[in-house]
């Protein structure tokens, strides 16, 4: 008798495979994109705030507007405006760092929001309890059917 090889038609998706291995709180959510855009906006605003405007107004045009905290990804040279302002390597490295930072912030927020210690008393009261009272589970109360059965068989 020959063995028949059946083809497995169920192929889990990549998301299902990752979901079965990685805890739910470690999976990035939509918040990660919002956090990444917030970090990027903070970096750009910080570059604008840290520009020495007083020195520029006094006549010193050898100023540069540098955007990017660990690495600069935009550099506007006011004395030489023909140079290209974008730096691709700095942009890629900064975006990777910002994405990692946004992911860490999102995971921390998920862990804090899903922490059962921070649940309100109402939510704890609505949660089902498996073992409400151990003593009452070991002692069974006699039901109406038990009483009726005893009465019928004792007569």
| In a domain? residue 44 | yes
Please determine, for residue 137, whether its predicted confidence score (pLDDT) is greater than 60.
Answer: no
Domain interval for residue 24: 14-119
The 10s digit of each residue's pLDDT in 90-100 is 999 999 999 99
Do residues 72 and 66 lie in contact, with contact meaning Cβ atoms separated by under 8 Å? yes
Helix (H, G, I), strand (E, B) or coil at 86: strand
| In a domain? residue 50 | yes
| In a domain? residue 139 | no
| In a domain? residue 87 | yes
CB atoms within 10 A of CB 36: 20
| In a domain? residue 135 | no
Number of separate domains in the chain:
1
Q: What is the mean pLDDT of the chain?
A: 82
**CA of 1: how far to CAs of 4, 5, 6, 117, in Å?**
9, 13, 15, 60
| In a domain? residue 124 | no
| In a domain? residue 9 | no
The 10s digit of each residue's pLDDT in 6-65 is 777 778 888 788 878 888 878 888 999 999 999 999 999 998 888 887 877 887 778 888
Tell me the CB-side half-sphere exposure of residue 154, using CA atoms within 13 A: 6
Please determine, for residue 110, whether its predicted confidence score (pLDDT) is greater than 70.
Answer: yes
Give the span between the Cα atoms of 28 and 106, in whole angstroms.
7
């Amino acid at each position: 008798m020959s063995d028949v090889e059946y083809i497995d038609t169920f192929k889990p998706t990549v998301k299902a495979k990752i979901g079965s291995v990685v805890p739910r709180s470690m999976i990035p959510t939509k918040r990660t994109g919002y956090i990444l855009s917030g970090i990027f906006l903070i970096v750009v605003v910080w570059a604008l705030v840290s520009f020495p405007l007083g020195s520029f107004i006094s006549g010193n045009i050898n100023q540069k507007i540098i955007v990017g905290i660990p690495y600069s990804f935009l550099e506007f040279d006011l004395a030489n405006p023909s140079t290209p302002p974008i730096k691709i390597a700095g942009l890629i490295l900064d975006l990777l760092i910002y994405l990692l930072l946004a992911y860490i912030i999102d995971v921390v927020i998920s862990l804090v929001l899903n922490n059962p210690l921070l649940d309100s008393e109402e939510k704890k009261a609505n949660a089902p309890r498996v073992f409400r009272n151990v003593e009452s589970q070991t002692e069974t109360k006699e039901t109406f059917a038990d009483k009726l059965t005893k009465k019928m068989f004792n007569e």
